[in-house]
Chains A and B, each alone.
Chain A
Amino acid sequence: MSNEKIQAELAKYQANVEKAIAKFPERANVPAQRLYTPLDVKDTDYADEIGFPGVYPFTRGVQPTMYRGRFWTMRMYAGFSTAEESNKRYRYLIESGATGLSCAFDLPTQIGYDSDDEISEGEVGKVGVAIDSLADMEVLFDKIDLGKVSTSMTINAPASVLLAMYIAVAEKQGVAADQLKGTIQNDILKEYAARGTYIFPPRPSMRLITNIFEYCSKHVPKWNTISISGYHIREAGSTASQEIAFTIADGIAYCEAAIKAGLDVDAFAGRLSFFWNAHNNVLEEVAKFRASRRVWAKVMKERFQAKNPKSWMLRVHTQTAGSMLTAQQPNNNIVRVALQTAAAVMGGTQSLHTNSRDEALALPTEDSVMVALRTQQIVAYESGLADVIDPLAGSYYVEALTNKIEAEAWEYIKKIDEIGGAVTAIEKGYIQKEIQDSAYKWQMDVESNAKVIVGVNKFQVEEKPVEGLLRVDASVGEKQKAKLADMRANRDNAAVQAALAALEKACQDEEENLMPHILAAVKTYATLGEICGVMRKVFGEYEAHVNL
C-alpha cells in the first residue's frame, strides 16, 4: 500500500473513531497516539537506524547471538547485616541458580565511614552489609570462588577502596587480578544528581574514577570499571527520556575526563557499562533500551571517534523499578515485576535484578527473593520472550517511540552541552531540578487520579499489616563495632600508619594514580573509614545545594 493510500485510509479511520471514542473520557489522556501505521516510521532507514544485532548502531542488541547464545545474567542485589549473614545469602542465591553476585553495602560503607563512627549509629547493616576492612571482605566471599563468579558492587564514592579489597581477597584465594570479572558502580555524577552517597567534590571524584579506568585497563582488564546509572535518576522521578539522556551526558563527562587525563578512548571505553531501570510502561521501556544503545553508539563513534566496535556498545544491567512497588496489596508487586522483567528482556539487557514483592515495606525475605528470581527464570525458560532477538523491532509503535525517545535524549544532551557538560549542569542544579519537576508531576498525577496505581488510588481494600518481614537484628551495630575493635588491636598499626601517610602524599600529587596506594593500605587492614578519612582531609567534602 502506498503512503498516500495509507494516509487516506487513516483519515477515514480517524474520522469514524473520534465519534465512537468520545464516549470514553477516562482513556482520553493516554499520551501515546491511538494507532500507529507505516507513516510513523516512513523516515526510518532500516540499515542505518535499526540494522542487525551486534552491528552499529546496536538498536537490536549488542551481541549477535543475544539470548540465543545464553540468557542474561540473573544477578540478585543482596546484602544486609554482617559479612557472615550476607555470605550465607550469597551462597543460597548461587545454589538457587543465580549466575552473578551483586553486593549491597550499608550506608556507612557507601559514604566511607566505619561502623564505630558516631555518624553510623542506627545505619550499620541496615540497607546492606557493613564492610569496615579487608577482614570483613574475606568473610563476605568465604567459600565463593572469585575466579568463577562475577560480582557487581554497588559502591560509588569509595569504589576504589572496595575494588582494592576485592582484588586483595582474590589474591588470598590464589586468583590473579586479571581473571576477575565484575563491576563497580563507581558513578559519582548520579550520586550528586539523584542518589546521595557522595563524599568528595566533583574534581577529585573524577580523578579517582579516571585512576580506576587506567589501573584496570592494565591490571584488571575484564572488570567493568563503571556502571553509568540511570536507575537512580529514574527512581528519583525522571521520565524515560530523561533517564537515558542524563546518564549518557554523565557518560560523556567520564569519557572527556579520561581523555583529558591522557587515556586513549579505546583503552577504557569497552569496559564502560550502564544501568537502566525497568519501569511499568512495558513498550516505552523496550523503546528506551533500544534508543539508548543507538544514542551511545553515535556518541562514541562520532563524538569521541572511538575505533573499536566494543567501545560503541552500550552494555546494560537492569533492575526493576523499586519506586513502583506498592506497600498496598504487596502481592500485586509480583505481577509488576514480571511485566518489568518482560520489558528488560525484550529490551535486550545483559543482566537483571528483579525486586521482591515486600520491598516497599522492608528488605526482602528469602521467600520473596526466591519468587523474584523465579520470575526471571519463568520469563527465560517459559515465556518465549527470549526466543527471538529484539522481537518488537518493526512494530510501528515501538520503532516510532524509539525514535521519539532518541530525539528527546539528544535535545537534553545538547542542552547540557550548552550549560558546559554534566558536571556543570549538576553543580548548577539543572539536572536535579528537571528530575524533581518530573517527580512532582508524577505525584500530582497520581493524586488527581490521572494516573492509576492499582491498590493505591483505585481498587483499594482494607488490609492487615504484613507479617514475617525481614528485620535486621538491632545488635548488628554493636557486633560490628566489637569485631572492628578486635581487628584494630591485632593488626600491625605501624604498617597501617605508613600506608596511610603514603596515600595522603599521593593524594596531593595530581599526577599520581591512587589505586596502588589504596591497595597497599587495604592490605595492611587499614579501614575504609581511615582510608576515606585521608582522602577527605586532602580533597574536602561535597556540599549539596537544593532548590525546591
Chain B
Amino acid sequence: MEKRIRVLVAKPGLDGHDRGAKVVARALRDAGFEVIYTGLRQTPEQIAEAALQEDVNVVAMSILSGAHPHLFPKIVKLVREKGLTDALIIGGGVIPEGDIPALKEAGVAGVFTPGTPTGDIIKFIKENVK
C-alpha cells in the first residue's frame, strides 16, 4: 500500500483565526491525507519540532494577522535546519499579492489566499510533494 501523505497544519504567531486552518485540515483529511493540527499560538521552533517528530511530508501554515513576512521564512529555515529538506512548505491566509514573491523566494512553495477552493490545495500538494 502506498504510504499516506502526512501534513502538519500549523498556526504560527498569536493569531486566533483558525476557521481556515480547520477547514483545510478537514478537507485534507477527507482527501485521504494524514493530518496533524498544531492548535493556536505555535512558535516557529515548536512548529519545526512538530514537523520533525511527526515526520511529515507537508507543512501547511496559516496566518491572518499580517505576521507572515516575519514568521513564514523563519519556519522554513527552522524546518530545513531540522533536516526535513524535502518537506513541502505551503502557507495561506490574508496575504497581499505583493508579498507572495518574497515568500516564495524564502521557500514557501505555494501561497493560498482567501477564496481558494480546498481542492486547489489538495491538487497542489499531490503534484508537488516529494
Name A's B-contacting residues (CB within 8 A): 107-108, 110-111, 113, 119-123, 126-127, 191, 195-197, 235-237, 323, 326-328, 360-363, 436, 439-440, 443, 446-447, 453, 456-457, 465-466, 469, 472, 474, 544-546, 548
Contact = CB atoms under 8 A, between A and B. Distances in A.
A439 B22 contact: yes
10 tightest Cβ-Cβ pairs between the two chains A and B:
A196-B16, A122-B70, A465-B97, A107-B14, A122-B67, A126-B66, A327-B114, A456-B115, A443-B23, A236-B19
Contacts of A326: 114-115
A123 B16 contact: no
Contact of A439 (B16, B23, B35, B65): B23
Contacts of A362: 66, 94, 96
Contacts of A107: 13-16, 65
Contact of B96 (A119, A121, A469): A469
Contact of B118 (A127, A363, A443): A443
B26 A440 contact: yes
A123 B113 contact: no
18 contacts: A111-B41, A120-B14, A122-B67, A196-B15, A196-B16, A197-B14, A236-B19, A323-B19, A439-B22, A440-B22, A440-B23, A440-B27, A443-B23, A443-B27, A447-B117, A548-B22, A548-B35, A548-B37
A443 to B, nearest CB: 5
Given A123-B65, A548-B25, A195 B19 contact: no
Nearest to A361: B96
A126 B70 CA distance: 12
Given A111-B14, A123-B13, 13 more contacts: A107-B13, A107-B65, A119-B41, A122-B13, A122-B69, A123-B67, A127-B15, A327-B113, A362-B66, A436-B23, A440-B22, A465-B98, A548-B26
Contacts of B117: 446-447, 457
A292 to B, nearest CB: 22
B115 A436 contact: no
B40 A363 contact: no
Interface in B40-57: 40-41, 43
A447 B71 contact: no
Contacts of B114: 326-327, 360
Contacts of B19: 235-237, 323, 439
B104 interface: no
A121 B70 CA distance: 8
Contacts of B26: 436, 440, 548
Contacts of A327: 113-115
B115 A196 contact: no
Interface in B109-125: 113-115, 117-119
Given A127-B65, A363-B66, A447-B117, A195 B94 contact: no
Nearest to B18: A196
B67 A126 contact: yes
Nearest to B100: A465
Contacts of B77: none
A65 to B, nearest CB: 38
A106 B19 CA distance: 19
Contacts of A121: 70
A548 B37 CA distance: 8
B66 A127 contact: yes
B80 interface: no
A126 B95 CA distance: 13
B119 A544 contact: no
B116 to A, nearest CB: 9
Contacts of A195: 16
Contacts of B32: none
